[in-house]
Structure 1
């Protein structure tokens, strides 16, 4: 603790509170451990694509959250197009460059929390070099592979240029942590020494926990004889939700009634609503606006199963989405429509059923199987989920492990 009290951690995170990312809780925990924590972030605009109410280029540029000092640098909101998204990424880098030149902050470590874009790491790398301090990178989205999916960029010259930037960042970071086992091999293939890499999975915030449904009130989800499936999070193109209307149509033809409760916002939401109408399965869907994360455990408590889905992609197949830990911690049976690492985790935990990304028929069959299970069978899945979470993603153990790096 004496060592921690002397340490100042500078966090580079393009997204931070009030945007809902796990880095919020990590920073709060580090403050409670005795570290001084400063976050360099942008103006909150995710996932809506426009600035949150009360925020702007000259509003609340300095703020605090749970003892964390926040400095917001200018950036262009992500909007709803690939061009706006690229400008969003670029503007954070440009603002970060000038911030790194003139900042008077004296930190002991830089910690970059990398969900897309990887470009946000550049200000952290530049600042660490200027101050001659260690720079740690936490990779939760793999670049340049992710660019083709998220930003829709296919031009090989641009992809190669982004790859060169990624190599530049990897080379200048003292330690690279990954949220997925599979990321390590991919990063090694870019010439990064394995001694520099370490698996550090994400954990779920404390409010993700099993709750008895009789103790909560969630009027947004009807409690009737219909099997409730919840999807909570970003309703984007990367989530592969286009298979849901197709699966609903198959289930409707089999006279199996379920309800997909879609909780959240995102760039694909309006298209998804329109597709459900085109497939004439609107009655299978219940669209709910974005909720405070603290309420999601209640939503899961009144649901029969949760859905984790991703689009068909090589990079997504080696990604372990953050909601995996949230769902396991809540002790809810999981239905997977995604490839690779997430299937391994759910199969190993025996906490649900798995199908491939983009496979609407397989998803419908898995839902049929889940609906047909006894209450005891689903309860066993719930218990398995919580046990697996506690054994593999315990917050205290993971944060203590990171302390060893900040203490050196």
Structure 2
């Protein structure tokens, strides 16, 4: 009989997160996979078309049994976001207590909020089965720094919740090397901590320039920079209008920022661009299917990875990194810490400190003036580094081993 994994992930297909591909690969490897998730609403903040409280609450996607519990859509305000987080926990509590579902293992895919881990832990405790937590956002640090919460009492309560979650997981995987040490500081046994980085889905691959004919990215000889993904406040994209203004002052009008995606900070960013009178430097494109991103990358000269300045983001390796590396794309980074270490080690691009428009403008100018052969060399190094460090099959084999080693004789068929 195939072993059964219950995956708890507040965001899942058709929302675009790496857990979608992990679940598909588990099905191919012989696991039975059930996903407990919410009604899709990320990042737009409203339910996706065709989904709702009484529509498509249960579906099968590529052999994955998806069960959607009620939650409040995240909207555009902090108040709605809090309701979104809490509603998933409340619905998850009733699911964990009332469901007749049986599983052999719980796997929690933690991107913010970490509160989503609670229903998974409650279910695992009720069934007395192993529980694995995959940490991609560090709490409570993320709440304090990125969320702007400074109330010590609130942070203390969140810290207590985080300690409860760590204590009740048998295995804790992290998407960043730096997270291992940081989590261990919370009196978590290092023996149950392991670095397990993201990989990129198979469709992220280097595309020939001949395939770059895409009317979403103008091909007019300008130096095209691509940012694709969530346009939120954590991404720190508010420095781009100021960066464009500096480029304008330096009479470098040949640069274009192509921003593909949606998110809570997009409207503010568009307003900033207009206010700074730099609209000619920007091309805003609506959210695209993930499968189109490699084609958009091939239509651009370089990709941009941007994070706001914070001590927690210094420890973070965003999954966008693997996507860019796998596409063999030269990379411009506006961030601090681990992401810069990776790009420098790979020799795959140029880095500037987070939140520093002057330095960002300088490395953009430097990159745009490089010979084509140098850009191609950066792209080749990016792909080489990806294949050596983030190979999908090797990482999934390691995951099999880790799950097998836990109590409950968990082995896949």
What interval of TM-score do these two structures reach, taking the shorter chain for normalisation?
A: over 0.9
Q: Distance in 1 between matches of 2:81 and 2:358?
A: 33
CA-CA distance at 1:406 after TM superposition: 2.7
Partner of 1:330: 327
The 1-side partners of 2:149 and 2:56 are apart by: 33
1:145 maps onto 2:178 in alignment: no
In the alignment, the residues of structure 2 paired with residue 340 and residue 150 of structure 1 have an alpha-carbon distance, to the nearest angstrom, of 16
1:156 CA drift (Å): 1.2
**2:411 paired residue number:** none
Partner of 2:308: 311
Task: Report the equivalent of 2:167.
Answer: 171
Task: Give matches, 1:180-219, under 5 Å.
Answer: 180-219=176-215
Matching of residue 361 in structure 1 with residue 353 in structure 2: no
Deviation at 1:150, TM superposition (A): 4.4
Q: Is the 8 A contact 1:346 1:352 kept in 2?
A: yes
Tell whether 2:222 aligns with 1:222: no
Query: Which whole-Å CA distance do the structure 2 matches of 1:274 and 1:99 have between them?
Result: 42
Unaligned runs of 5+ in 1: none
In structure 2, how many angstroms separate the alpha carbons of the residues matched to 1:122 and 1:116? 13
Residue of structure 2 in register with 1:375 after alignment: 372
Residue number in structure 2 paired with 1:276: 273
SS of alignment partner, residue 159 of structure 2? helix
Q: 2:343 aligns with which of 331, 342, 346?
A: 346
State which of 264, 267, 271 in structure 2 corresponds to 1:267: 264
Q: Distance in 2 between matches of 1:97 and 1:370?
A: 51
Give the equivalent residue in structure 1 for 2:129: 133
Of 141-150 and 13-22, more deviation after overlay is shown by 141-150
Contact (CA 8 Å) 2:226, 2:260: kept in 1 or not? yes
Q: Which runs of 4+ in 1 moved over 4 A?
A: none
**Does 2:78 correspond to 1:82?**
yes
> 1:94-137: per-residue Cα shift (whole Å, max 9, x none)?
00000000111110100000000000000000000010000000
Distance across 1 between alignment mates of 2:12 and 2:303: 26
SS at match of 1:104: coil
Q: Indicate the RMSD between aligned Cα atoms, in angstroms.
A: 0.8
2-side partners of 1:255 and 1:306: how far apart? 22
Indicate the residue corresponding to 2:30 in structure 1: 34
TM-score where L is the length of structure 1: 0.98
* Cα deviation 1:191-215 (Å, max 9, x = unaligned): 1011110000000000100001212
Alignment partner, residue 250 of structure 2: 254
* Counterpart Cα distance in 1 of 2:223 and 2:302: 8
Q: Give yes or no for the alignment of 1:106 onto 2:121.
A: no
CA shift digits 1:216-266 (9 cap, x unpaired): 431111111100000000001000001101110111111112000000001
Q: Return the alpha-carbon distance in structure 2 between the equivalents of residues 237 and 152 of structure 1.
A: 11
Contact preservation (8 Å) 1:82, 1:152: no
Structure 1 residue 58 displacement after superposition: 1.3
Alignment of 1:226-241 (within 5 A): 226-241=222-237
Contact 2:10 2:36 in 1 (8 A): yes
Q: Distance in 1 between matches of 2:280 and 2:205?
A: 30
Specify the alignment match of 2:392 in structure 1.
Answer: 395
Q: 1:300 maps to which residue? A: 297
Q: Separation in 1 of the partners of 2:32 and 2:212?
A: 37
The SS at the match of 2:133 is: strand
Q: TM-score, normalised by structure 2?
A: 0.97
Question: What's the CA shift string for 1:306-331, capped at 9, x where partnerless?
Answer: 10000011101100001000000001
The corresponding residue for 2:404 is: 407
Q: Which runs of 5+ in 2 are unaligned?
A: 406-413
Q: Is the 8 A contact 2:45 2:76 kept in 1?
A: yes
Q: C-alpha distance in 1, partners of 2:127/2:263?
A: 38
What's the counterpart of residue 66 of structure 1?
A: 62
Give the SS at the match of 1:231: strand
**2:287 aligned partner:** 290
CA distance in 1, matches of 2:207, 2:308: 30
User: 1:247·1:360 contact (CA, 8 Å) conserved in 2?
Assistant: yes
**Does structure 2 conserve the Cα–Cα contact (< 8 Å) formed by 1:265 and 1:290?**
yes
User: What is the number of residues matched between the two proteins?
Assistant: 404
Larger mean CA deviation between 299-308 and 151-160 belongs to 151-160
